Amino acid sequence: MLRALLDKFWDEDVWLPPNTTWEDIEPGPDKAVVYADYRHLLYPLPLALVLIVFRHMLEKYWFAPFGKSLGIKNTRPKKAPNNPKLEAAYQAQPKIKHKQFYLSKDEICGLAKQLDMTERQVERWWRLRRSQDKPSTLVKFCENAWRCTFYLYNFSYGMFILWDKDWLWDIDHCYIGYPHQGLTTDVWWYYMISSAFYWALTLSQFWDVRRKDFWQMFVHHIATIALLSFSWVCNLHRIGTLVLLLHDCADIFLEAAKAAKYASYQKFCDAVFAVFTVLWIVTRLGIYPFYIIWSTSIRAPMLLPMFAAYYIFNSLLCLLLALHMVWTWLILQVAYKAISAGQMEGDIRSSSSEISDSSHQSNHSTPNRVNNKKNT
């Protein structure tokens, strides 16, 4: 039954152009070109674990000391007094708002009566306990420094290997001769490392700094992995490399601006943020839809016969565009506030949980609620 389901799923009429079989693009010494091997999609999984370990080593022995040299302190908030009953109530709260739990007025009154405490004492304990779950500024700095480093490396490597490729300069070469397009070793590594990175992000997202757009980022990572996997299986790696290169460009400045913000280098942060905003709009809302998606939607049908998997591939590209539009709205909000205030306020694209806290408090304030400061 499993074999029948797999055969049905990997139907050649779905995944390959007309008059093409899996045997035609199966790797082998007797083939005229080197084809992508679907079994190699397992390689990014152990590579992702390697990247996670490598990241941990960099953060511990390089980024953390560097952050401390910039004056970033790894201070932890004051611990809440030991209170088993309040701790049990805290742990029993629904896992929402990325562990930033809130109590209603009735819940505060109920706990105060049960524990023979004042409402203010309950609120204070709750605020201190919530603060314990928030990462320090140094932890946030290390996370952004790691991502900035990887994006810088991956973009540089992508430019290096694609510089002499025909399809970088003429996107029509992504389709001419398809699916019999040879795979080079440098492109193989580009795909494997990029896939491993997104697998690592998907895994580490559950213990990294929780942000307001947690699920948008999760969908983004899964969609990216699916795009890489589908394009690999269908031998559409040429257009895949262009999408990767285009996305890594702006992310370098995004992570650099965040790291500069945490290091309190406000002027540098503002300058990098301005560069990021321009690059983001040019690449994500300019080149991506009007060059990449236009090519896959308009030019590709002119140069090769269409097949079902190509529409799946193009739909995922459009899903990424929809996410870009959501993030662009968040970025423009930050840019507007930066222009109004004279400096960038808050986090960029992925609003931090602290900002989410402040927004929640402004909508659900009570006379006895302890006002938390808005951190970024």
Mean pLDDT confidence for 201-218: 75
pLDDT of residue 185: 95
**Amino acid at position 21, single letter:** T
The answer on pLDDT for 77 being more than 70 is no
Single-letter code of the amino acid located at 6:
L
Whether 137 and 265 have beta carbons less than 8 Å apart is answered as no
Predicted confidence (pLDDT) at residue 358 exceeds the cutoff of 50:
no
Tokens found for residue 140: 């946030």
Enter the tokens of residue 228.
């890489």
pLDDT band at 361 (very low <50, low <70, confident <90, very high): very low
pLDDT of residue 14: 86
Instruction: Give percent above pLDDT 90 in the chain.
Output: 43
Report how far residue 153's alpha carbon sits from residue 158's, in angstroms, rounded to the nearest whole number. 8
Domain ranges for the chain: 15-69+136-345, 84-134
The pLDDT, as a whole number, for residue 374 is 37
CB 144 within 8 A of CB 258: yes
Amino acid at site 359: S
- CA 10-11-14 angle, 5° bins: 105
In the three-class reduction of DSSP (H, G, I as helix; E, B as strand; rest coil), residue 71 is classed as coil
Q: 3-class SS at 211?
A: strand
H-helix or E-strand spanning residue 263: none
Instruction: Report how far residue 239's alpha carbon sits from residue 260's, in angstroms, rounded to the nearest whole number.
Output: 33
Give the pLDDT confidence of 181-198 residue by residue, as tens digits: 999 999 999 999 999 999
pLDDT for residue 373 is more than 60: no
Phi, psi (deg, nearest 5) at residue 283:
-85, -45
The pLDDT mean for the chain works out to 81
Residues 320-330 pLDDT 10s: 899 889 889 98
The model's confidence at residue 211, banded by pLDDT at 50, 70 and 90, is low
Of 278, 296, 284, give the one whose Cα is nearest residue 167: 296
Q: Given a cut of 50, is residue 362 above it in pLDDT?
A: no
Taking the C-alpha atoms of residue 157 and residue 133, their distance in angstroms, rounded to an integer, is: 37
**pLDDT, tens digit (0-9, with 9 covering 90-100), for 131-172:** 666 778 898 899 999 999 999 999 999 999 999 999 999 999
Identify which of 82, 80, 63, 200 has the alpha carbon closest to the alpha carbon of residue 134. 80
How does pLDDT run across 238-291, given as a tens digit for each residue? 999 999 999 899 999 999 999 999 999 989 998 999 999 999 999 999 999 999
In the chain, % of residues over pLDDT 70: 81
* Residue at token pair 């559409």: 236
